Structure 1
Amino acid sequence: MTNEHSLAAQPGSFAQAPGRTAPERRRAVAAGIIGNTLEWYDFGVYGFLATLLAKQFFPASGQYIGLLQTFGAFGAGFIARPLGSILLGRMGDIIGRKAVLTLTILMMAVGTIAIGVVPTYAHIGIAAPLVLLVARLLQGLAAGGEWGNAAAFLAEWAKPGRRGFYGGLLLASVSGGLLLGSGVAACVSTALSPEQMTDWGWRIPFLLGAALIPVGLYMRRNVEEPPKFRSQPTGDVPQNQTAFPALLLRAACICLPLLMASYMVTVYMPSYAQLYGAIPRSMALWANTCALALTVVGAPVVGLLSDLYGRRRQMLICAVLLVVLAYPMYGLIASGVSFPTFFAIQMLLTAVVVGFNGAVPATVAELFPTATRAVGAALANAIAGVFGGFTPFISTWLIKESGSVASPAWLVVFSGAAALLALIGIKEMAHRELT
């Protein structure tokens, strides 16, 4: 046994374990973060431009049905995520994290280009939404393998006592991609007239994202596998496989706020604010951009705090806050508040979500052994993602059926309650060595 175990108990310590040099670690972290940022930019732009996509691909359905169908296609990407997590997660555990992370960025690029160039319903009829659906499914497969492999990759490259910080960087890269997408959508919406945006401007964010993919691809092809993975026999499977289902269920519940709550307060919020809070599109997008910026800055800080003081307690507190605050805050937005009040509400909800989610990547990676870490983390995230991907769809349906525009808040409450129950039974792993 190396001395890494003793070092792991000292959050502020640093040592060069065999095969781990500082330049290698920096390159690995940069590749994981930048590639992930670009992938989630591509994935998130769809949600930010949902109201415009509904007009282009489902014009004959009316506003409500068209938006529902658009969000249905958004959710379809999340249906593909479990399959991607199983296939690409297991590949990551067998052939390596690096190879799979390179493949996922290529798959995401193809899906994004397809959405950016496909003719609309007015030009090719039913083929247009079908191409949109296939592109979303391909993006979903890529995203299914991306998160688990990236979480395993960064956790295994992390220096002792810094897995939370590295996991926070992973969350920051996800939010950074969404932030970039939200910022680009806001800039394009501000620069172009509503007619130009509806006609052709919506394509610009997709095409810009596709143009940036080669940067992440180059970086991922020029990094090494984590030393923890290299020391593991290829395809090795732990003897105690019976524990995997229980760990998977617990990890999926912990991931629910990462997918459901965060999507409700970021990806879905611009559409919600426009439709039910009377907030103009450009202002809603700028508020969302600020919320994502808070996530980018806050997630590594939260991850670092979880390294120093433990992850479990802070996650329990934030889960309780999600349960308590969600419904009153959405009720306020629906009552027609001013933009400053809406902005304050979104920042508050974002701060609580970040307080929880900043520690999620490290926590989930720590639950699984090296031989099943990528597939376990990927599948847990994908299972939660099925719920998260359909939050806009379910929210739209809930409002229609219940007559209450605050009803989507119950999805946030559900995610917080499920995570709370899952956290009660886990041990604190912040200062222990990975298995």
Structure 2
Amino acid sequence: MKDSMESHTSHIKFWRKRNKPELTLDDITIVDRKMLNRAVGAAALGNAMEWFDFGVYSFLAVTIGHVFFPSGSASAQLIATFATFAAAFLIRPLGGLVFGPLGDKIGRQKVLAFTMIMMAIGTFSIGLIPSYSSIGIAAPILLLVARLVQGFSTGGEYGGAATFIAEYSTDKRRGFMGSWLEFGTLGGYLLGAGLVTGLTAFITPQQLLDWGWRIPFYIAAPLGLFGLYIRLKLEETPAFQKHMEKQEQIEDNKPRQTLFEMLRKYWRPMLQCIGLVLLFNVSNYMLTSYMPSYLTSVLGLSELSGLMLIMVVMFIMMPMTLLLGFWNDRLGRKPVLLAGAVGLIVLSIPALMLIGQGGIVGVFCGLMLLGVLHTFFSGTMPSALPALFTTNTRYSALAIGFNISVSLFGGTTPLITSWLVSETGSVMVPAYYLMGAALIGAITVFTLKETARKPLIGSAPAVENKEEAKKLLKKIRLRKKKREDEDASLSNNTPTQ
């Protein structure tokens, strides 16, 4: 408690300057525990919905290649499938440009409700598209359109969900509460992968090719409706409500900050966001999107074996993500992120060597090593990224920075890695790719300020109850009085000229 109070006071200077000269009990946000739990659940559910689709698409990549692209080499079909997968990421920044500013203008909750239903429609539509053999070139075109709808909606999803949880959480537990967002990611991915694995195990390959692959995409409709219902029941975040109350006091004729002005003013945290997301998402998509096909197409494992191994790794990663969320609240965001980046630099080659042996035990150990390292990022990023920006620009800046990085580096990871493996013939390409991303990420981490157990920039401290608020306020006043006494003492001891 003592360390937590001291970290609050060290960060409160910015808040006091920007808002009020003196902090009062009314300024401190007391978080409603039930509303916080609902907010975390609703945000995590949306992320689960997004990654349910990614899990299904990644695990069915080979089948989708056969259904939507003309017959040819297996490598060409796989690359075409991943190209369609990557195309959705190219439009994500546009979604961020649209939904991010909307989230800062009309509220996080409204935008997140809209992105939820849009994602569900895009995913459900994929299951309705006829095959290439039925309608020819129209099939891959319609698949691309559906993926673009998904990508556009997803452009406003992660930044909004991370912002929503961060602004609802208390300062002491923001890391742990944020880690539930990635718990939802893994849960959604595992659900999608589990469905594909079940289909692979219980129906014939021909049945999977004919109709079985469509079933997981149909499930997106009821999932989306349930998620929409949950999100519509939420209230706006306390931080955004207070921000809007202050905005109402500003003169109506004061011009609103333009996107260009925001990017010019916050270029440094924007670059930091891009660097962190590069590290986070290259690690993520390498494991969750590329590895299922790598195990099958490059190493020659059976589809069922590869799917089962990655599912077990995902399942173990879920509680580990929460554990890292718990510990980054205590150890700090920077040490945890740096440990993960250094771990990737040192251990990527050993992990790929284990996977390359082809034996079940070796493959599992290599995948597990990559999975454990990824939890250092998945448990920390949802709280580290929103803390880079102020309340009035948080949704916009995070959505834009996150999606630019994902589009350029994360979503293209399966495509680029597949192409490099095909061109070079080296099965170690994924390791080198991970090491490069980790090096950039480590450099970025060194430029960060520690934000664990501190209020978000531009927001008041957030605590669990009134007693904690009173203790925090007392601590702040005692430190202020001590500083004033020290200043007075220095002034009295200064010799006159």
Corresponding residue of 1:79: 90
Of 80, 85, 89, which residue of structure 2 is paired with 1:69? 80
Counterpart among 237, 247, 261 of residue 283 in structure 2: 261
RMSD: 2.1
Counterpart amino acid of residue 218 in structure 2: L
| Secondary structure at the counterpart of residue 232 of structure 1 | helix
- 1:428 aligns with 450
Find out whether 1:362 has 2:373 as its counterpart.
Answer: no
Check the 8 A contact 1:36/1:174 in 2, yes or no.
yes
Match status 1:192 vs 2:211: no
- Which residues of 2 match residues 15-94 of structure 1 at below 5 A? 18=29, 20-94=31-105
Q: Is the 8 A contact 1:237 1:372 kept in 2?
A: no
Task: Answer with 202-211 or 122-131: which moved more.
Answer: 202-211
SS state of the match for residue 231, structure 1? helix
Alpha-carbon deviation of 1:295?
2.5
CA contact (8 A) 1:237 1:371 kept: no
1:35 CA drift (Å): 2.3
Is this contact kept in 2: 1:327–1:407, CA < 8 A?
no
For the residue of structure 1 that corresponds to 2:289, the secondary structure is coil
Q: In 1, distance between residues paired with 2:159 and 2:243?
A: 17
Unaligned runs of 5+ in 1: none
> Aligned partners of 2:364 and 2:79: how far apart in 1?
26
Asked if 1:106 is matched to 2:128, the reply is: no
Cα-to-partner distance string for 1:242-272 (whole Å, 9 max, x where unaligned): 4412211111111113211111112211111
- Residues in 2 aligned to 1:407 and 1:187: alpha-carbon distance in whole angstroms: 31
Specify the code of the residue in structure 1 equivalent to 2:303.
R
Alignment of 1:163-312 (within 5 A): 163-233=174-244, 237=257, 242-312=264-334
Q: 1:388 to 1:125 in 2, by over 3 A?
A: same
- Per the alignment, do residues 374 and 246 of structure 1 end up closer, same or farther by CA in structure 2, a change over 3 Å counting? same
Q: CA deviation at 1:327?
A: 2.5
8 A Cα contact 2:333 2:452, kept in partner: yes
Query: What is the letter of the counterpart of residue 379 of structure 2?
Result: G
Partner Cα separation in structure 1 for residue 127 and residue 194 of structure 2: 17
What residue in structure 2 maps to residue 328 of structure 1?
350
Q: Would you say the 8 A contact 1:9–1:161 is kept in 2?
A: no
Aligned partner (choices 396, 399, 402) of residue 424 of structure 2: 402
Partner of 2:400: 379
Mapped to 1, the partners of 2:181 and 2:368 lie a distance apart of 21
2:371 equivalent in structure 1: 350
1:58–1:129 contact (8 Å) kept in structure 2: yes
Gaps of 5+ in 2: 10-24, 248-254, 458-497
| 1:147 aligns to 2:158 (yes or no) | yes
Note the alpha carbon deviations across 1:257-300, whole angstroms, 9 max, x for none. 32111111122111111112222111111111122222321112
Which residue of structure 2 aligns with residue 411 of structure 1?
433
| Residue 337 (structure 1) aligns with | 358
Deviations 1:81-104 (A, max 9, x none): 111111111111111111111111
| Residue number in structure 2 paired with 1:125 | 136
> What per-residue deviation string (whole Å, max 9, x for no partner) do you get for residues 304-333 of structure 1?
100011110121111011112113322332
Question: Would the aligned equivalents of 1:157 and 1:227 in 2 still touch at CA under 8 Å?
Answer: yes
- Structure showing greater radius of gyration is 2
Match of 2:19 in 1: none
Tell me whether 303-312 or 59-68 shows the greater mean CA deviation.
59-68
Task: Please report how far the alpha carbon of residue 185 of structure 1 lies from its aligned counterpart in structure 2 after TM superposition.
Answer: 1.0
For 2:344, the aligned partner's letter is: L
Cα distance in 2 for residues equivalent to 1:295 and 1:85: 28
Amino acid at match of 1:379: I
1:95 aligns with 2:106: yes
State the aligned residue count.
Answer: 426
* CA 7–162 in structure 1, closer or farther in 2 if over 3 Å, else same: farther
Q: Deviations over 1:127-146 (max 9, x none)?
A: 00000001111111111110
Deviates more, 1:338-347 or 1:325-334: 325-334
Task: Describe the shift of the 1:79–1:241 C-alpha distance in structure 2 as closer, same or farther (beyond 3 A).
Answer: closer
Distance, in Å, in 1 between the alignment partners of 2:381 and 2:148 is: 25
* Paired letter, 2:178: G
Corresponding residue number in structure 1 for 2:413: 391
Flag the 1:291–1:379 CA change in 2: closer, same or farther, 3 A.
farther
Relative to 1, partners in 2 of residues 1:211 and 1:382: Cα closer, same or farther, differing over 3 Å? same
Conserved 8 A contact 2:103-2:160: yes
Spell out, residue by residue over 1:328-357, the C-alpha distance to the aligned partner (whole angstroms, 9 max, x if none).
Answer: 3223323x4211211111111100111233
Residues 351, 365 of structure 2: 8 Å contact kept: no
Instruction: Say if 1:43 and 1:139, in contact at 8 Å, map to a contact too.
Output: no
> TM-score if structure 2 supplies the norm length?
0.82
Instruction: Report % sequence identity.
Output: 37
Match of 2:312, SS state, is helix
Higher mean displacement: 96-105 or 383-392: 383-392
CA shift in 2, pair 1:247/1:395, >3 Å? same
With 122-131 and 53-62 compared, the bigger mean Cα shift is at: 53-62
- TM-score for the superposition, normalised by structure 1: 0.93
Contact 2:103–2:111 (8 Å) recurs in 1: yes
Using the alignment, how far apart are the partners of 2:6 and 2:209 within structure 1?
56
Residue identity in the other structure for 2:371: T
